[in-house]
Amino acid sequence: MLEKILEALKERQGEPLKKETVGTVNGTVNGTVNDTVNDTVNDTVNDTVNDTVNDTVNDTVNDTVKLIKIDPKITINDLALKLNKSRRTVTRIIKKLQNEGVLLRIGSDKTGYWQVKER
């Protein structure tokens, strides 16, 4: 009976289960099944969340570049308001773009402007 359960699980999940984990019907088999199901669910949820977060961050970075191209003299405060982000978040994005060589500040903070280089 246990062999049939293990074979069915192998076929459904595509992952081999360790035979040494099968000790008792109620304890270890349930634990192995739960671990397999939990791993599958966690991987799916994590992938979905990571994709959503990455898309949001990339959209914010791209929107920042677009706004700077439209108005090279835009301030961090104005960017924060238009992007609906905190001043600190915008500062972090700008620092990242400067480190990547995409964004360059020409002149002073007060009277200067941004220069965008294509990525």
The C-alpha angle with vertex 67 and arms to 62 and 71, in degrees rounded to 5, equals 150
Q: Which range in 13-22, 23-32, 39-48, 98-107 is most confidently predicted, on average pLDDT?
A: 98-107
Alpha helices in 19-75 (DSSP H): 28-70
87, amino acid identity: R
pLDDT of 72 over the 90 cut: yes
Mean pLDDT of the chain: 79
pLDDT of 65 over the 90 cut: yes
The rounded percent of the chain whose pLDDT value lies above 90 is 46
Q: What are the tokens at 23? A: 């000790």
Q: Residue 36 and residue 33: Cα distance in Å, rounded?
A: 5
pLDDT of residue 89: 95
The helix/strand/coil state of 86 is coil
Q: Residue 6 and residue 75: Cα distance in Å, rounded?
A: 62
Provide the number of structural domains found in the chain: 1
Give the pLDDT band (50/70/90) at residue 51: low
Q: What are the tokens at 30? A: 């349930």
pLDDT of residue 114: 95
CB-based burial label for 40 (10 Å; 0-12, 13-18, 19+): middle
Domain span holding position 66: 2-116
